[in-house]
Structure formats: structure tokens, C-alpha cells
């Protein structure tokens, strides 16, 4: 035997893990980097606002937090699917891929600039509550610049995933986290103001500094190509970006609408507790979502690769996520108590139910990666819109016929229905072998009946 001849052998489970890491290192690295970025953003975001509350007045913190929320929302919408398009296109692009990434980031910035003008116009003309969060021209300029820069940074982050440079994306977020905290301390030395401009300036400067440090690091490592935007490379890809944008919106809007539904049917007191529980749940189920994004990056246009990578994604999502979310369910009261006794009284049951629905989230999230790889985005968008409407309707119905726990039970009931529909798709994609008659006829490595390449190869 090998170990008797002096050659060391690994225990069987360890050897399997080693083979898995070698075969699917790209998937694990990308999803791990995305997960680490999310954790860094969440933890340092909490710390940032904790420090801000200690150094600045409540009025300044409230104004700045409202501005950051607007920057995040409008900036995310300003991406317009271009980041997702990069994840799918960059792995298949020969030569220098940075001109396409630069063009996408520039275009997202331009779209976000239009979105910023619309937001500022609505704030000043139609929505007085938003106008109070823009006290003076300095805040107006900072918010507009922040929206543009946020959209561009988000596109760069997703482009790095498409370039199989996930660790650099994580480092960019780490740079941002540290820089904005340091700059926040420096901003506290400025003359006191109730406008929140110093806080927002520290956020914006930290974001810009993180991009500059990223570029310097990439250049030093020889990973940075030409940053001159090649807008011509977007030709023929904007339609695909629009499809991705519609799918992203149909997935994103219900997520941010749920707290508003809670406010409408249960009141603001319950909303704070639900929002906290919802954020804890979002962090707990981020793993399958990040695996779906990484799956799209490493398997785009390669259905044979999809099968193996998806099986690994399922194994990781279940093996890591199930124990973690069971722990969250068991510790739901202590977790909610960290935010206050009232939060624990109101939302412990809701968090426990949400955490125990993790298995539904695995299939609901991974199916997004599958449909992107299989180029079924438009069909998936229709399904996502219907699912989102059903989620909102179920939450509203549950809230009006009971308390928060009843509302969450109805919501999770819809999650279960969605999993019942998406699980067969995910399991089929994970088990169907190349050449199986169940495979879609337009395969990326074979021409279709017209003699043109399959859609996955275009």
C-alpha cells in the first residue's frame, strides 16, 4: 500500500476536499470573496454608523444616512445590468478585457447621473421629506457624485468577478471600509454642522480612495490592462444587459419593498424590529446568492461545466448554510436582544421562521445562476415578477390578518412554493449529463439548425 512504502496519504474525506478545491477552486474563490466582501461591508457599516453616532449630532447622522441610502438605491439601479453582463461576457472575451469593463463602468456612471438628476428633482419638487435630507448645495453635489461613483464601483466589483479576480474585489471593499472609518474620524475634527456633509464626504472620499488603491494594486500585480473605454465593445451587448437589469430589478425590488409593507400594515414600531430580523436573515442566506453569482462567472456558456460546478455549489450551500442557519434559529432571541429587548419581543419568532426557511432560499438563489448560464433570463424575469408580486401580496395579507409572525409565515409559504418550482430546475441542471435528451437543443459548443453557433457561444 502507498502509505507502507513511505508515501503519505490523506484521510479519505480530506482527500475529497482537496480534489474539490483543485477542481472547483474558481467557484469557491469567487463565492468566498463575495461572501467575505458582504461580511466586511455589513460589519464595518455597523461600526461606521456607531462611530458616527458618537462623533456627530443625531441630525447630521440622520441626514447622512438618508443620503447614503439614496446613493445606494439609485446607484444600484444605475448599474442597469452592466455588472451582470460583465460577469457573463468577460470570461469568454479574448485579449485585453479592461476596455469593456471601463466602458461598462463609464456607461453605468452616465446612467446613474441621469438617475441622480431625477432623484434630486423629485426631492426638490415633489417629495418634501427627501428635500429635508438635502440641506444646501454641498449635500446636493455630494449626493449626485455619490450616486455616480457608487454605480461605477459596483460595476467594477462585478467586473472583477468576471475576470476571476474575486480576491481583488474583496480587497477593494476592505480598502473602502478602512478608509471611510479613518476619514470619518478626520471629519469629526471639522467645525460642527447639522447637515451631515462631513460624514457623507468621508464616505465618498473612502469610496474614491478604494478604487485608486485597487488600480495601484492591480497595476503592481500586472493584472491591469488598458483603462481607455471601448464603447464600441458594448455594441451587441446592451440588449443582454437590459435583460439582466430587468431580472435584477425583479429580484431586488421585493426585497426593499417588504419593510414598507410592514410599515403600512403593522406600523413603524414593528418595522424596526422586522427590518433588523430581515437584515440578519439576509446575511444568513447570502451564501447561495454568492454561489449563484460565482456559478455564472465560471460556467457561462459551458453547460457541461455547469453540472459539476452546480453540484459543488449545492454541497457547499447545504453543508455550510444549513448548520449556520439552524444556529441562527436556535439563537434567535439572543441575536435580536443585541438590538434591544423590544426587538427581541417583537421579532424573535419572525427571525426563527426565516432562518428555518434557508433550504428554500438555496434553490431560489441558485436557480438564478442556472438560468443565466442557460440564457433563459427573459423567462426567469417573468417568473421573478410573479413571485415578487406574490411575496408582497402574501406579506400584506398575513400582516392584516395577524401580527409579524403571521406575516412571515405567509411570506415563507410563498418561499416554499417558489422552492417547489425551482428545485427541479436546479436538480435537473446538476444531474443532466451532456448529450441527455433533456438538454436544451441550443448547446454552446454546437451550431443550431441554421448553422449559427448556439446562443451560449454568441
What's the pLDDT tens digit per position in 317-351? Answer: 999 999 999 999 999 999 998 888 888 898 999 99
Q: Are residues 182 and 284 in the same domain?
A: no
Residue 441 has pLDDT above 50, yes or no: no
Residue 35 CA, chain-centre distance (Å), reads: 9
Is residue 287 within 8 Å of residue 357, measured between CB atoms? no
Residue 243 has pLDDT above 80, yes or no: yes
Residue 308 has pLDDT above 70, yes or no: yes
Residue 452's CB is within 10 A of a number of other CB atoms, namely: 11
Q: Are residues 213 and 69 in the same domain?
A: yes
Q: Are residues 47 and 89 in the same domain?
A: yes
Q: Is residue 3, in this structure, part of any structural domain at all?
A: no
Q: Is residue 284, in this structure, part of any structural domain at all?
A: yes
Residue 78 has pLDDT above 80, yes or no: yes
Q: Is residue 5, in this structure, part of any structural domain at all?
A: no
Is residue 146 within 8 Å of residue 204, measured between CB atoms? yes
Number of folded domains in the chain? 2
Nearest 5°: phi and psi at 9?
-125, 145
Report if pTM > 0.95.
Answer: no
Q: Which of 191, 214, 235 is the last residue of a domain?
A: 235
Q: Are residues 221 and 342 in the same domain?
A: no
Taking the C-alpha atoms of residue 223 and residue 234, their distance in angstroms, rounded to an integer, is 22
Q: Is residue 16, in this structure, part of any structural domain at all?
A: no
Q: What is the pLDDT of residue 217?
A: 94
Q: Give per-residue pLDDT as tens, 204-230.
A: 999 999 999 999 999 998 888 888 888
Q: Are residues 227 and 255 in the same domain?
A: no
Q: Are residues 120 and 255 in the same domain?
A: no
Q: Are residues 205 and 77 in the same domain?
A: yes
Q: Are residues 209 and 308 in the same domain?
A: no
Closest CA relative to residue 455, chosen from 379, 365, 367: 379
Q: Which of 214, 235, 256 is the last residue of a domain?
A: 235
Give the range with max mean pLDDT: 47-51, 240-244, 366-370.
366-370
Q: Are residues 250 and 384 in the same domain?
A: yes
Q: Is residue 406, in this structure, part of any structural domain at all?
A: yes
Q: What is the mean pLDDT of residues 98-118?
A: 95
Q: Are residues 341 and 241 in the same domain?
A: yes
Taking the C-alpha atoms of residue 453 and residue 443, their distance in angstroms, rounded to an integer, is 8
The single-letter DSSP state of residue 275 is: H
Q: Is residue 15, in this structure, part of any structural domain at all?
A: no
Taking the C-alpha atoms of residue 297 and residue 224, their distance in angstroms, rounded to an integer, is 19
Q: Please, is 190 exposed, middle or buried when counting C-beta atoms within 10 Å of its C-beta (0-12, 13-18, 19+)? A: exposed
- Collapsing DSSP to helix, strand or coil, 447 comes out as strand
Q: What is the pLDDT of residue 456?
A: 40
Q: Are residues 241 and 143 in the same domain?
A: no
Is residue 301 within 8 Å of residue 293, measured between CB atoms? no
Residue 392's CB is within 10 A of a number of other CB atoms, namely: 18
Q: Is residue 79, in this structure, part of any structural domain at all?
A: yes
Q: Where are the strands (E) in 195-268, listed by range?
A: none
Q: Is the dihedral of CA 25, 28, 34, 39 positive or negative?
A: negative
- Give strand pairing partners of 447: 453
Higher pLDDT residue, 311 or 26? 311
User: Which range marks the domain in which residue 458 is found?
Assistant: 237-458
Q: Is residue 359, in this structure, part of any structural domain at all?
A: yes
Q: What is the pLDDT of residue 57?
A: 82
Q: Are residues 377 and 397 in the same domain?
A: yes
Is residue 286 within 8 Å of residue 366, measured between CB atoms? no
Q: Which of 193, 213, 235 is the last residue of a domain?
A: 235
Residue 182 has pLDDT above 80, yes or no: yes
Residues 6+ apart with CB under 8 A from 305: 298, 299
User: Which grid coordinates belong to 27?
Assistant: 467557484
Amino acid at each position: 500500500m502507498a502509505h507502507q512504502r513511505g508515501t503519505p496519504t490523506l484521510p479519505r474525506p480530506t482527500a475529497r476536499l482537496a480534489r474539490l478545491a483543485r477542481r472547483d477552486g474558481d467557484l469557491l474563490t469567487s463565492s468566498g470573496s463575495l461572501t467575505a466582501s458582504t461580511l466586511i461591508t455589513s460589519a464595518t457599516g455597523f461600526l461606521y454608523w456607531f462611530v458616527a453616532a458618537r462623533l456627530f449630532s443625531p441630525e447630521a447622522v440622520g441626514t447622512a444616512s438618508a443620503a447614503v441610502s439614496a446613493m445606494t438605491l439609485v446607484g444600484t439601479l444605475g448599474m442597469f445590468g452592466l455588472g451582470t453582463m460583465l460577469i457573463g461576457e468577460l470570461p469568454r472575451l479574448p485579449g485585453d478585457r479592461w476596455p469593456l469593463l471601463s466602458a461598462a463602468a463609464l456607461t453605468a456612471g452616465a446612467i446613474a447621473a441621469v438617475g441622480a438628476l431625477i432623484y434630486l428633482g423629485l426631492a426638490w419638487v415633489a417629495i418634501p421629506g427627501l428635500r429635508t435630507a438635502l440641506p444646501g448645495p454641498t449635500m446636493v453635489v455630494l449626493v449626485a457624485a455619490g450616486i455616480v461613483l457608487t454605480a461605477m464601483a459596483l460595476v467594477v466589483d462585478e467586473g472583477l468577478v468576471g475576470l476571476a479576480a474575486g480576491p481583488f474585489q474583496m480587497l477593494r471593499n476592505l480598502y473602502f471600509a478602512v478608509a471611510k472609518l479613518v476619514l470619518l474620524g478626520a471629519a469629526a475634527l471639522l467645525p460642527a454642522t447639522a447637515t451631515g456633509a462631513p460624514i457623507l464626504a468621508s464616505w465618498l472620499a473612502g469610496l474614491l480612495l478604494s478604487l485608486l488603491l485597487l488600480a495601484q494594486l492591480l497595476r503592481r500585480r500586472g493584472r491591469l490592462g488598458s483603462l481607455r473605454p471601448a464603447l464600441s465593445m458594448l455594441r451587441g451587448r446592451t440588449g443582454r444587459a437590459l435583460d439582466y437589469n430587468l431580472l435584477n430589478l425583479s429580484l431586488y425590488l421585493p426585497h426593499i419593498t417588504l419593510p414598507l409593507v410592514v410599515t403600512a400594515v403593522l406600523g413603524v414600531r414593528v418595522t424596526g424590529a422586522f427590518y433588523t430580523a430581515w437584515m440578519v436573515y439576509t446575511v444568513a442566506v447570502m451564501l447561495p446568492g454568492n454561489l449563484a453569482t460565482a456559478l455564472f462567472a465560471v460556467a457561462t456558456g459551458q453547460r457541461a461545466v455547469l453540472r459539476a460546478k452546480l453540484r459543488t455549489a449545492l454541497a457547499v450551500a447545504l453543508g455550510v448554510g444549513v448548520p449556520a442557519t439552524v444556529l441562527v434559529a436556535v439563537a434567535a432571541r439572543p441575536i435580536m436582544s443585541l438590538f434591544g429587548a423590544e426587538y427581541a419581543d417583537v421579532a424573535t419568532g419572525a427571525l426563527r421562521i426565516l432562518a428555518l426557511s434557508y433550504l428554500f432560499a438555496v434553490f431560489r438563489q441558485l436557480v438564478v445562476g442556472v438560468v443565466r448560464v442557460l440564457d433563459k433570463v427573459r423567462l426567469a424575469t417573468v417568473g421573478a415578477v410573479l413571485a415578487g408580486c406574490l411575496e408582497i401580496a402574501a406579506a400584506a395579507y398575513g400582516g392584516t390578518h395577524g401580527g409579524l409572525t403571521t406575516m412571515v409565515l405567509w411570506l415563507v409559504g410563498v418561499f416554499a412554493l417558489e422552492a417547489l418550482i425551482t428545485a427541479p430546475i436546479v436538480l435537473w441542471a446538476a444531474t443532466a449529463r451532456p448529450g441527455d435528451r433533456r438538454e436544451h437543443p441550443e448547446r454552446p459548443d454546437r451550431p443550431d439548425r441554421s448553422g449559427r453557433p448556439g446562443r451560449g457561444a454568441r
